[in-house]
Protein backbone atom coordinates (compact mmCIF):
# COMPACT_ATOMS: atom_id res chain seq x y z
CA UNK A 1 0.00 0.00 0.00
CA UNK A 2 1.49 3.31 -1.04
CA UNK A 3 0.70 6.72 0.29
CA UNK A 4 -0.40 9.10 -2.43
CA UNK A 5 2.47 11.42 -3.26
CA UNK A 6 2.04 14.55 -5.37
CA UNK A 7 4.22 13.36 -8.21
CA UNK A 8 6.02 10.21 -9.09
CA UNK A 9 9.67 10.65 -8.32
CA UNK A 10 12.48 8.18 -7.86
CA UNK A 11 13.62 9.72 -4.58
CA UNK A 12 12.06 11.80 -1.83
CA UNK A 13 13.96 14.00 0.61
CA UNK A 14 13.69 13.53 4.35
CA UNK A 15 11.74 16.79 4.50
CA UNK A 16 9.14 15.51 2.05
CA UNK A 17 8.86 12.21 3.92
CA UNK A 18 8.56 13.87 7.34
CA UNK A 19 5.77 16.15 6.02
CA UNK A 20 4.00 13.14 4.55
CA UNK A 21 3.84 11.46 7.97
CA UNK A 22 3.56 14.73 9.91
CA UNK A 23 6.57 13.89 12.09
CA UNK A 24 9.95 15.50 12.66
CA UNK A 25 12.85 14.57 10.40
CA UNK A 26 14.72 13.49 13.54
CA UNK A 27 12.14 10.73 14.10
CA UNK A 28 12.65 9.48 10.54
CA UNK A 29 16.42 9.41 11.12
CA UNK A 30 15.89 7.58 14.42
CA UNK A 31 13.66 4.97 12.78
CA UNK A 32 16.27 4.54 10.06
CA UNK A 33 18.81 3.53 12.72
CA UNK A 34 16.34 1.28 14.54
CA UNK A 35 14.73 -0.56 11.61
CA UNK A 36 16.99 -2.34 9.14
CA UNK A 37 14.27 -2.40 6.46
CA UNK A 38 14.87 1.33 5.95
CA UNK A 39 17.77 1.80 3.56
CA UNK A 40 17.66 5.34 2.15
CA UNK A 41 20.43 6.25 -0.24
CA UNK A 42 22.67 9.19 0.57
CA UNK A 43 24.01 11.67 -1.94
CA UNK A 44 27.51 13.16 -1.87
CA UNK A 45 26.41 15.72 0.71
CA UNK A 46 25.02 12.97 2.94
CA UNK A 47 21.38 13.91 2.38
CA UNK A 48 18.99 10.98 2.63
CA UNK A 49 17.03 10.03 -0.46
CA UNK A 50 14.07 7.75 0.14
CA UNK A 51 12.62 5.45 -2.51
CA UNK A 52 8.93 4.54 -2.71
CA UNK A 53 9.83 1.24 -1.04
CA UNK A 54 11.35 3.16 1.89
CA UNK A 55 8.19 5.29 2.12
CA UNK A 56 6.05 2.13 2.12
CA UNK A 57 8.19 0.63 4.89
CA UNK A 58 7.94 3.88 6.87
CA UNK A 59 4.19 3.69 6.51
CA UNK A 60 4.21 0.24 8.10
CA UNK A 61 6.48 1.42 10.92
CA UNK A 62 4.30 4.50 11.46
CA UNK A 63 1.19 2.31 11.58
CA UNK A 64 2.68 -0.04 14.14
CA UNK A 65 4.31 2.57 16.39
CA UNK A 66 2.02 5.60 16.16
CA UNK A 67 -1.37 4.12 15.32
CA UNK A 68 -1.24 0.73 17.04
CA UNK A 69 0.97 1.79 19.96
CA UNK A 70 3.70 -0.83 19.57
CA UNK A 71 7.01 -0.30 21.34
CA UNK A 72 10.03 -0.35 19.03
CA UNK A 73 11.01 -3.90 19.98
CA UNK A 74 7.46 -5.12 19.41
CA UNK A 75 7.28 -3.39 16.03
CA UNK A 76 10.62 -4.93 14.97
CA UNK A 77 9.41 -8.37 16.02
CA UNK A 78 6.11 -7.94 14.18
CA UNK A 79 7.93 -6.88 11.01
CA UNK A 80 10.26 -9.87 11.15
CA UNK A 81 7.52 -12.38 11.87
CA UNK A 82 4.76 -11.29 9.51
CA UNK A 83 5.20 -8.10 7.52
CA UNK A 84 2.57 -9.27 5.01
CA UNK A 85 -0.12 -9.56 7.70
CA UNK A 86 0.62 -6.02 8.84
CA UNK A 87 0.40 -4.70 5.28
CA UNK A 88 -2.91 -6.51 4.73
CA UNK A 89 -4.24 -5.14 8.00
CA UNK A 90 -3.26 -1.59 7.00
CA UNK A 91 -5.01 -1.96 3.65
CA UNK A 92 -8.13 -3.30 5.35
CA UNK A 93 -8.20 -0.40 7.83
CA UNK A 94 -7.75 2.08 4.99
CA UNK A 95 -10.63 0.52 3.06
CA UNK A 96 -12.88 0.54 6.12
CA UNK A 97 -12.08 4.23 6.75
CA UNK A 98 -13.03 5.06 3.15
CA UNK A 99 -16.30 3.12 3.48
CA UNK A 100 -17.08 4.84 6.79
CA UNK A 101 -16.39 8.25 5.27
CA UNK A 102 -18.66 7.45 2.35
CA UNK A 103 -21.45 6.25 4.64
CA UNK A 104 -21.16 9.32 6.87
CA UNK A 105 -21.37 11.64 3.85
CA UNK A 106 -24.35 9.64 2.56
CA UNK A 107 -26.09 9.94 5.94
CA UNK A 108 -25.50 13.73 5.96
CA UNK A 109 -27.13 14.05 2.55
CA UNK A 110 -30.32 12.35 3.77
Tens digit of each residue's pLDDT (9 = 90 or more) over 14-68: 999 999 999 999 999 999 999 988 989 988 998 999 999 899 899 989 988 998 8
pLDDT for the residue numbered 1 = 44
Is residue 7's pLDDT more than 80?
no
Number of domains in the chain: 1
The answer to whether position 7 is within a domain reads no
The CATH number covering residue 49 comes to 1.10.1660.10
The answer to whether position 63 is within a domain reads yes
Is residue 96's pLDDT more than 60?
yes
The answer to whether position 17 is within a domain reads yes
Enclosing H/E stretch for 25? helix 25-34
* pTM of the predicted model as reported, rounded to 2 decimal places: 0.72
The answer to whether position 60 is within a domain reads yes
Distance CA 92, CA 48 (A): 31
Domain that holds residue 32: 12-109
pLDDT for the residue numbered 6 = 53
The answer to whether position 90 is within a domain reads yes
The answer to whether position 20 is within a domain reads yes
The answer to whether position 5 is within a domain reads no
The CA distances from residue 6 to 1, 30, 74, 108, in Å, are 16, 25, 32, 30
The answer to whether position 2 is within a domain reads no
> Any idea what DSSP says for residue 5?
P
Amino acid sequence: MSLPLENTKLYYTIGEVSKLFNVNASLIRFWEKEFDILQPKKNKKGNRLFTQKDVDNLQIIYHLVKERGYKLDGAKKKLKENKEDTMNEMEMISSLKKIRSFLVSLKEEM
